[in-house]
Structure 1
Amino acid sequence: MLLARFSLAALFTVLSTAALLAEESPNQLSSAEQKQGFELLFDGTDLTGWQHAGNWQVADGAIERTGKGGDLVYEVKPVPDDFELRFEWKVAPGSNSGVYYRPGQYEYQILDNDRHPNGKVPDTTAASLYYCIAPSHDATKEPGAWNTGRIVCQGTVIQHWLNGEKVVDIDYTDPKLTAAIEKLKKRGATLDSRGAKLKLQDHGDPVWYRSIRMRELNGHEELDKSPLKGS
């Protein structure tokens, strides 16, 4: 009887561990994400659905930039008006890239903050709404380590997350943001424009992406409104 109990306990541990690993494996949807309606945009094996000039490839389950040629564009369908995008990214020392998600260069900055010149300017550091809104704090990991990124857009609200921490949370109709939004307009943004293709930037530096998944929001999702760190 004792042996049977031990065997059942051991089996339960193995199954639980396997389930946990499955949930955390890259390029897979967790059971929760499946229920939430996420779609996997990259399966870890090839670049089906993505357009590029031969300068991006798949290696070890990740997308990597291999040379000059331009950005990597997801051509299957446009980014929804209201959406949540989750992804993982890492950079080499000194690297710069970005994730574009709306017309007019709405960009989630990808950067080695410590070694790239953009890291000296708050509104061009990693996870910023590039050139417009600085992250509340630096939550990046060292080059070579995987970071988790998240973008949530619903109506006039834009949130950027980095490694599980919310670092940007704005409503672009807020009068206090007028100066910052003017900078966004200089980059070609019309605030009510939608329908861009998701794009990963080729900025000439080594960069890697994986676990890219997206879902459409219904426009009435209850968003996280907790205060930003340090606010």
Structure 2
Amino acid sequence: MKCWCLPGRKIHLIGAVLGAASVLACCLVNAADNVGAAVEAVSSAEQSNAATDFVELFDGKSFDGWEHGGNWRIEEGAFFRAAGGGSLTYKRTLVPDDFELRFEWKVSKGCNSGVYYRPGQVEYQVLDNVGSPYGENPRQAAASLFFCMAPSKDATRPVGEWNSGRVVCKGTVIQHWLNGQKVLDFDYTDPKWAEMVKLLTIRGGDLTGRGGKLWLQDHGQPVWYRNLRLREIPSDEPFNPSPDFEPMSIPPGALAKEQQRVQAMLEAARSR
């Protein structure tokens, strides 16, 4: 570095000092870059290791490992419910007790579907929140634990766009994610959620059940699924539930319809 405003020998002295400072600064920057690169490399390695824990459930080309009634097709690397005929079930293995499931889903106008991951009526709801009448009740809306727990917000994308879904279950805690946001997180043994859990029980769900099949619901409308991945969560893996989770409130009109449905379920159960 040179100083052009000062005459004589001071130029060389100042130039030498500033030059040395410049070299030192460069060394420090290079060292910081090296440390940053090392940290980034470690982080990438950890992410890579985590990614290898997942089992790909769908290769994007075939129904290998899946069973259906002939009403599902593969369209542009996705499962597509093309006609009535029943749900699409994964047959290769049961869902682990503690697990993480990731998938992408896309709905048609007015569509209602869902991902079932434990025995009975335990469902991550897949829905067109705007076009389906179920959307008026957050406890039946997209990413809800259907007929049990509403999400904390509506994070859906418009009809025709892909959404990312994620289910994490460990012990007695259930988490649902939608488009990168954790929208449901509760411990079903917590007394404050007892009324919600009771609703699901009336419908036929049992949150204590384990070892269920994974299946994608056919509820009568076109729906798409892709990039389904599943992993078992190790017992020693850190897990941090959110104690401040709050589900969306249920509008009075939707709540009244829900109560009517509950009464019909109870009467049907008594008549059996």
Q: What interval of TM-score do these two structures reach, taking the shorter chain for normalisation?
A: 0.7 to 0.9
- CA deviation profile, 1:78-105 (whole Å, cap 9, x unmatched): 0000000000000011111000000121
Query: Pick from 94, 97, 121: which aligns with 2:113?
Result: 97
Structure 1 counterpart of 2:231, one-letter code: R
Aligned partner of 1:217 in structure 2 is 233
- CA deviation profile, 1:160-198 (whole Å, cap 9, x unmatched): 000000010010000001100001111222332111110
Q: Distance in 2 between matches of 1:216 and 1:53?
A: 29
User: Would you say the 8 A contact 2:186–2:245 is kept in 1?
Assistant: no
Structure 1 counterpart of 2:48, one-letter code: S
Query: Pick from 83, 91, 100: which aligns with 1:75?
Result: 91
- Report deviation, 1:229: 7.8
Q: Distance in 2 between matches of 1:224 and 1:109?
A: 23
Aligned partner of 2:51 in structure 1 is 34
Q: Distance in 1 between matches of 2:235 and 2:205?
A: 21
Q: Distance in 2 between matches of 1:63 and 1:112?
A: 18
Q: Distance in 2 between matches of 1:118 and 1:220?
A: 39
Aligned partner of 1:136 in structure 2 is 152
Aligned partner of 1:153 in structure 2 is 169
Q: Would you say 1:60 and 2:66 are equivalent positions? A: no
Query: Pick from 164, 174, 184: which aligns with 1:168?
Result: 184
Aligned partner of 1:123 in structure 2 is 139
Q: Distance in 1 between matches of 2:108 and 2:94?
A: 29
User: Would you say the 8 A contact 1:155–1:219 is kept in 2?
Assistant: no
Given the superposition, is the C-alpha separation of residues 67 and 33 from structure 1 closer, same or farther in structure 2, using an over 3 Å criterion? Answer: farther
TM-score (norm 1): 0.83
- CA deviation profile, 1:109-154 (whole Å, cap 9, x unmatched): 0001011000001100000000110000000000110000000000
Given the superposition, is the C-alpha separation of residues 228 and 149 from structure 1 closer, same or farther in structure 2, using an over 3 Å criterion? Answer: same
Q: Distance in 2 between matches of 1:42 and 1:109?
A: 20
Query: Pick from 198, 215, 239: which aligns with 1:199?
Result: 215
Structure 1 counterpart of 2:229, one-letter code: R
Q: Distance in 2 between matches of 1:178 and 1:73?
A: 30
Greater RCO, 1 or 2 (C-alpha within 8 Å, sep 6+) = 1
User: Would you say the 8 A contact 1:104–1:187 is kept in 2?
Assistant: no
Q: Distance in 2 between matches of 1:67 and 1:31?
A: 38
User: Would you say the 8 A contact 1:140–1:162 is kept in 2?
Assistant: yes
Structure number with the higher strand fraction is 1
Structure number with the higher helix fraction is 2
Q: Distance in 2 between matches of 1:153 and 1:230?
A: 18
SS at match of 2:134: helix
In our comparison, the structure showing a higher alpha carbon Rg is 2
User: Would you say the 8 A contact 2:147–2:200 is kept in 1?
Assistant: yes
- CA deviation profile, 1:11-50 (whole Å, cap 9, x unmatched): xxxxxxxxxxxxxxxxxxx835433x10000010011100
* Aligned CA-pair RMSD: 1.8
> In percent, how many aligned pairs have the same letter?
56
Q: Distance in 1 between matches of 2:49 and 2:129?
A: 32
The alignment of Structure 1 onto Structure 2 pairs a total of residues equal to 202
